[in-house]
A and B are shown apart, each in its own frame.
Chain A
Amino acid sequence: MFVSINWIKDYVDLEGVDIRKLIESFTLATAEVEDIIVKGADVENVVVGEILSVENHPNSKKLHLLKVDAGSKVCNIVCGAPNVAVGQKVALALAGGRVCGGEIKVATVAGYESEGMCCSEKELGISEDNSGIMELDHSLANGTSIKDIFPIDDIIFEVDNKSLTNRPDLWGHYGIARELAALAGRELKPLELGDLSYDGDEKVDVKIGREDLVYRYSCIKMDNITKNKSPLDMRIRLYYCGMRGINLLADVTNYIMLEIGQPTHAFAGDSIENIVVTTPKEKTTFKTLDGVERVIDEETLMICNGDTHVGIAGIMGGLDSEIVENTGSVVLESANFDGVSIRKSSSRLGHRTDASARYEKMLDPELTLDAVGRFVKLVKDIDSGARVASKLTDEYVRKYPEISLSFDKKYVDRYTGIDISDEQINKTLTALGFAVDYADGNFNVKVPSWRATKDVTIKADIIEEITRIYGYDNFMISTTRSPLKPVRMSQGKSEDYEVKDILVKKYSFNEVHSYLWCDGKKYKKLGIEVEDNVKVLNIENSENGVLRNSMIPTLLVTASENKDYAETFGIFEIGRVVNGTKADGTCGEEKHLGAVLYSKAMSEKALYFKGVEIVNCIVELIKQKKAEYTKIEAIHNWQHPKNTARVCVDGKAIGVINTLYPSNLAKLDKNAAVVCIEIDMDALAAVNADKIAFAEPSTQQATYYDLSLVVPEGVRYSSIEASWNSLGISELESVRIIDTYDKGDLKSITVRLNFSSHERTLEMEEVQAWIDKVIENLAKIGVTLRA
């Protein structure tokens, strides 16, 4: 919103106030100022001139040669405007001066010297009108500076509309003036209102059909309006504040909206019989004054003239009741509608206006009469013949409750942490319009109507009023007196970081982020189907609306998009997946680690064992436990039926490791191996970590025994391992695979069993006895010694 300092000065005496500093303090105390624009700086040395003579230019049909009396001298002017006449008073920019187009110099135009320029409104920066030169009033004295006549000099500041969302009172100059008055310590002058008295019996009949959507509807009729153009100083203000001059009545209603924030609407007076404010019984169409035909539904509040729709309440009037010139009489609507209803209607219509934007903020219903009073005053000031032609109609169907709040200084001190004096609290609140009743350190304040629609409702709201005017920059800052207690990461967070560290630092993985929903198009390229799951209802691309139930597919997409990054790489993400819905119908949200290993250099088998190593390392380093693996059937189509295994710790499933189904792998990369790991981070976090069990290293001589084993198809190492683990030999310190051999039918491994004892050097005979038992056990599962 644009604010004119000239306009503010109507209501606050700013003599001697540093305007820039005041605007800065407005940013800090009230709302953010985005820009400060100095108006009139481009206009210099422009005076009132009188055209003494007009001659046609001999060589041009468009140009005229003028003699213009500029007060101090008569100037020769070459002018291209169509509307020149002898006796006309014009705005003459003299050589050495400036207008918005640039500097004015003595120049030769088509062979004739021109000592200045007659200006259009646009050239003075006060409107878009460039159709001809500006015609001035005949009473003005030649040579008078144009800036002494019209308020061309002004400072405009633009307030960020978003920061005014909760301040309905700041959507007009008067509310801003109240803030600036409080900040500058000056008084706010009252609004000048017109006399509404009327002796006749005429009264506009108003019926409110939907009392739930209307707070107040005030209206009055005026007639005998003969002028149809608003005065230039009014139009300059409108223009500087971002609006266009249209005609007198439209300009006055816009002016009032910019002045006090209250939108009003002027209906052609003769056409209005009786007004009904209600919603239509069925869907219909309506042509608004911008010429657009709009669909009106049953929840959109309409203004009707009898049975005919004449306006969409709070949004826009209709084309058919638009005030065109020479209307003569007018019915002014000044109403207050329910903000939520207006917002919703305007959003359904896809049409937001200056009026609807203001109603959305919950305007003060007390404003409707101020607007009527201002309208009568402004119209009469401009057109002295205009008169009030009806009694005031004022249907005040709903009122906001009056709000009184009580608090004491202690309450303020506790909130602020500093000492703001009773006197200052009193002064601030009074300046902002609060009625303050103060006795013995207790405050009882009545919230002014313009702040009571939603903005200030509780004691804490008062704190803001006091502190923002006090100034946050003036606060002494201090730490709290609260006791300090040791804190811990919540469960799960430290595991997340440990996993990240292991993957990044030990295994050189790269961490990536991806979206919570599936990208159907990208999945398709890898032959991955989007599995049924909870959906986002209102996502732009509906193909992406299904939430992911696994971290892996998106990571596969990412791996595929990074094929050129390196021969071998690993990527991971710790993120959320949704595992369908729970018994109560809500999402089964889980936090998962997804990791994908990709390699063009390693075999799938080697990469798979790298994956197993990583999982084992995570479980060992974080929980000091051993991961166990069980082959399972593929859960998702993209998993390999043979190489998909469940990872368990303490018998509880924590994740899955797998290779890809051949066709998916082929689509990703024919020449690479890919291994996927997915771990449920909550399940991992829930595992009880073992304490590190320290064993004193043996000082006795250790011994080892190598066994080369022939392993039949289908026998897993875990069962081979059981053949010695089941014996419970405490002297068996460790077992290591030292060789594997895998050719054709023969699959063989060589294991080294290391024995040692704390008490003695082991005898060959006892070791041999253990080995014999191991071999006996191995034979039971069909494992024999290699010849």
Chain B
Amino acid sequence: MIEKTANLSNLFKEKAAAAASSAELEQLRIEFLGKKGYVAELMNDLRNIPNEQKKEAGQLINEVKKFIESEIQNRNREILKAEELRLVEQAESYDESMPVDINSGSYHPITLVQREVEEIFKTMGFAVEDYYEITDDYNCFEALNIPKHHPARDMQDTYYLSTGQLLKTHTSAAQNTILRKYAKNLEQGNPIRAIFPGRCFRNEKIDACHENTFFQMEGIMVDKDISISNLIYFMKTMLSEVFQQDITVRLRPGFFPFVEPGFELDIQCTICKGKGCPSCKDSGWLELCPCGMIHPNVLTAAGIDPEKYIGFAFGLGMTRLAMMTYGVKDIRVFNSGSLKALSQFTEKSFTVPEESKEA
């Protein structure tokens, strides 16, 4: 029996090594361990063995059975492993550099810039307001302390409509409406903080630098104690966020009838850092935001007592900012509808282009 079991073990080893698939291995299992298999045969042989040897012989058969069972498992594992390796081996290696069409849409550059600036102001507690494109003399001029005979009202600057209305020439036209909307909040101790982006129109000949239709953003803040110091702080903080770098600002006196004092805010040229370059016409500074303390007459026109409340206002040329941000040299691109140009603006968030960061 010793010899028989040993032979059987060897036979299995031989055959198992030759088995190349799980299916062949299953055949071997049936051949050796099946009802009519070799092990079953040995069990039958047990009957012919003397009783005193039966126990020992039975143990031997059990051992060989266990051996075969575990060998089948081991061998099966090996076969599966080899099969996996073969699949990996045969698999195709893909070329990620092949062009694929992401079929991406695009935002208008003004949308991108506007959204970015709005986000910055929202985090600073400013409400984002909307306003009409068509307004009237009162909102566009009179409520802003622009006297009747001011040159800004002349036909050459403003588009007048057959209804007697006009196309707003600046986002400041919304000031009266927005101040009125929030005036009651002041009494409850809540400051007015709002920005209102919008499209403006001026009767201008169109060329690479001039458009009759362009975007601005206006911002106001009104409370009991708002100062020039606060105005500079907010402008500096906002512009540093917009340009994603620490921005140096300077204020110069500027005249706008709806603010007093009024300022032209310049930023130190982001390209040459103030040394002078073609972008800043060698001055080291870029004129960016007109701003100032809201004129008492403007507050009064909106039903706010200028003795009790004070505030600042600023304007930001969004079209200009978009040109600076993306290095657009011809303003006509914005209203061109040319998809070759406009489809490039796919990013939700804009970044300052590298070349404008370098010296």
Are B163 and A508 in contact (CB-based, < 8 A)? no
CA distance A559 to B34 in the complex (A): 77
Among A47-55, A192-200, A481-489, which stretch is in contact with chain B? A481-489
Are B250 and A28 in contact (CB-based, < 8 A)? yes
Contacts of B338 in A (CB 8 A): 561-562
Q: Report if A509 contacts B (CB, 8 A).
A: yes
Are A589 and B134 in contact (CB-based, < 8 A)? yes
- Within the complex, the shortest CB–CB distance from A586 to chain B, in Å, comes to 6
CA distance A666 to B111 in the complex (A): 33
Query: Pick the contact of B105 from A505, A578, A587 — CB < 8 Å?
Result: A505
Are A569 and B126 in contact (CB-based, < 8 A)? no
Among B12-20, B42-50, B148-156, which stretch is in contact with chain A? B148-156
Q: Which of B105, B132, B164, B335 has the most CB of A within 10 A?
A: B105
- Within the complex, the shortest CB–CB distance from B337 to chain A, in Å, comes to 4
Contacts of B353 in A (CB 8 A): none
Are B151 and A343 in contact (CB-based, < 8 A)? yes
CA distance A513 to B214 in the complex (A): 10
Contacts of B227 in A (CB 8 A): 414-418
Interface string of B155-190 (1 = CB under 8 A from A): 100011111110100000000000000000000011
Among B59-67, B79-87, B218-226, which stretch is in contact with chain A? B218-226
Are A534 and B310 in contact (CB-based, < 8 A)? no
CA distance A570 to B342 in the complex (A): 13
Interface string of A483-510 (1 = CB under 8 A from B): 1110111101100010010011101111
Query: Pick the contact of A587 from B163, B226, B253 — CB < 8 Å?
Result: B163
Tell me whether A500 and B111 are in contact in the complex, defined as CB-CB below 8 angstroms, given that A480-B223, A487-B126, A565-B340 are known contacts. yes
Q: Report if B191 contacts A (CB, 8 A).
A: yes
Among B21-29, B90-98, B260-268, B271-279, which stretch is in contact with chain A? B260-268
Q: Report if B37 contacts A (CB, 8 A).
A: no
Contacts of A540 in B (CB 8 A): 203, 205
CA distance A477 to B232 in the complex (A): 6
Q: Report if A176 contacts B (CB, 8 A).
A: no
Contacts of A591 in B (CB 8 A): 130
Are B335 and A514 in contact (CB-based, < 8 A)? yes
Are A516 and B295 in contact (CB-based, < 8 A)? no
Query: Pick the contact of A508 from B103, B260, B295 — CB < 8 Å?
Result: B103
Q: Report if B320 contacts A (CB, 8 A).
A: no
* Residues 215-247 of B contacting A (Cβ, < 8 Å): 221, 223, 225-230, 232-234, 236-237
CA distance A489 to B159 in the complex (A): 30
Q: Which of A415, A476, A492, A558 has the most CB of B within 10 A?
A: A415
* Residues 103-142 of B contacting A (Cβ, < 8 Å): 103-108, 110-111, 115, 122, 125-130, 132-134, 136
- Within the complex, the shortest CB–CB distance from B23 to chain A, in Å, comes to 36
Are A536 and B293 in contact (CB-based, < 8 A)? no
Interface string of A456-487 (1 = CB under 8 A from B): 00101101100110001101111111111101
CA distance A514 to B165 in the complex (A): 21
Are B110 and A513 in contact (CB-based, < 8 A)? yes
CA distance A232 to B261 in the complex (A): 42
Are A581 and B163 in contact (CB-based, < 8 A)? yes
CA distance A561 to B111 in the complex (A): 22
Q: Range of interface residues on chain A?
A: 35 or more
Are B261 and A468 in contact (CB-based, < 8 A)? yes
Are A587 and B293 in contact (CB-based, < 8 A)? no
- Within the complex, the shortest CB–CB distance from A300 to chain B, in Å, comes to 16
- Within the complex, the shortest CB–CB distance from A526 to chain B, in Å, comes to 14
Q: Which of B227, B250, B295 has the most CB of A within 10 A?
A: B227
Among A29-37, A325-333, A423-431, which stretch is in contact with chain B? A29-37
Are A416 and B339 in contact (CB-based, < 8 A)? no
CA distance A165 to B151 in the complex (A): 11
Tell me whether A464 and B310 are in contact in the complex, defined as CB-CB below 8 angstroms, given that A27-B252, A31-B253, A497-B115 are known contacts. no
Q: Report if B213 contacts A (CB, 8 A).
A: yes
Contacts of B105 in A (CB 8 A): 503-505, 507-511, 570
CA distance A489 to B250 in the complex (A): 31
Q: Report if B193 contacts A (CB, 8 A).
A: yes
Contacts of A488 in B (CB 8 A): 127
CA distance A467 to B234 in the complex (A): 18
Are A513 and B108 in contact (CB-based, < 8 A)? yes
Are A534 and B128 in contact (CB-based, < 8 A)? no
- Within the complex, the shortest CB–CB distance from B130 to chain A, in Å, comes to 5
Residue of B with least CB distance to A31: B253
Contacts of A616 in B (CB 8 A): none
CA distance A508 to B122 in the complex (A): 28
CA distance A578 to B154 in the complex (A): 24
Q: Report if B317 contacts A (CB, 8 A).
A: no
CA distance A31 to B252 in the complex (A): 7
CA distance A463 to B295 in the complex (A): 12
Contacts of A623 in B (CB 8 A): none
Q: Report if B201 contacts A (CB, 8 A).
A: yes
Q: Report if B315 contacts A (CB, 8 A).
A: no
Contacts of A463 in B (CB 8 A): 228, 260-261, 293
Tell me whether A461 and B260 are in contact in the complex, defined as CB-CB below 8 angstroms, given that A536-B159, A587-B163 are known contacts. yes
CA distance A752 to B103 in the complex (A): 32
- Within the complex, the shortest CB–CB distance from A340 to chain B, in Å, comes to 4
Q: Report if A571 contacts B (CB, 8 A).
A: yes
Q: Report if A719 contacts B (CB, 8 A).
A: no
- Within the complex, the shortest CB–CB distance from A123 to chain B, in Å, comes to 29
Are B160 and A478 in contact (CB-based, < 8 A)? no
Tell me whether A166 and B161 are in contact in the complex, defined as CB-CB below 8 angstroms, given that A415-B228, A475-B228 are known contacts. no
Are B134 and A458 in contact (CB-based, < 8 A)? no
- Within the complex, the shortest CB–CB distance from A25 to chain B, in Å, comes to 11
Query: Pick the contact of A347 from B129, B154, B233, B251 — CB < 8 Å?
Result: B154
* Residues 591-647 of A contacting B (Cβ, < 8 Å): 591
Contacts of A497 in B (CB 8 A): 115
Are B229 and A416 in contact (CB-based, < 8 A)? yes
- Within the complex, the shortest CB–CB distance from B42 to chain A, in Å, comes to 51
Tell me whether A460 and B261 are in contact in the complex, defined as CB-CB below 8 angstroms, given that A481-B225, A515-B335, A587-B165 are known contacts. yes
CA distance A487 to B233 in the complex (A): 21
Query: Pick the contact of B161 from A473, A478, A537 — CB < 8 Å?
Result: A537
Q: Report if B334 contacts A (CB, 8 A).
A: yes
Residue of B with least CB distance to A562: B339
Residue of B with least CB distance to A574: B111
Interface string of B330-347 (1 = CB under 8 A from A): 000011011110110000
CA distance A473 to B130 in the complex (A): 34
- Within the complex, the shortest CB–CB distance from B287 to chain A, in Å, comes to 8
Residue of B with least CB distance to A463: B261
Q: Which of A30, A468, A508, A509 has the most CB of B within 10 A?
A: A508
Are B189 and A483 in contact (CB-based, < 8 A)? yes
Tell me whether A473 and B250 are in contact in the complex, defined as CB-CB below 8 angstroms, given that A497-B115, A540-B205 are known contacts. yes
Are A510 and B342 in contact (CB-based, < 8 A)? yes
CA distance A414 to B223 in the complex (A): 11
Contacts of B340 in A (CB 8 A): 562, 565
- Within the complex, the shortest CB–CB distance from A115 to chain B, in Å, comes to 40
CA distance A515 to B133 in the complex (A): 12
Are A538 and B155 in contact (CB-based, < 8 A)? yes
CA distance A719 to B167 in the complex (A): 47
Shortest Cβ-Cβ A-B pairs, 5 listed: A417-B227, A417-B229, A464-B261, A558-B337, A504-B105
Binding site for A on B (CB under 8 A): 103-108, 110-111, 115, 122, 125-130, 132-134, 136, 149, 151, 154-155, 159-165, 167, 189-191, 193, 199, 201, 203, 205, 213, 221, 223, 225-230, 232-234, 236-237, 250-255, 260-264, 293, 295-296, 310, 334-335, 337-340, 342-343
Q: Can you give 5 contacting A-B residue pairs, CB < 8 Å?
A: A460-B261, A475-B229, A480-B221, A500-B111, A510-B343
Since A28-B250, A417-B228, A513-B335 are in contact, a sample of 6 more A-B pairs with Cβ atoms closer than 8 Å, ordered by chain A residue number, is A163-B252, A463-B261, A467-B261, A480-B225, A482-B223, A509-B105
Binding site for B on A (CB under 8 A): 27-32, 163, 165-167, 340, 343-344, 347, 414-418, 458, 460-461, 463-464, 467-468, 472-473, 475-485, 487-490, 492-493, 497, 500, 503-505, 507-516, 534-540, 547, 557-558, 561-562, 565-566, 569-571, 573, 575-576, 578, 581, 585-587, 589, 591
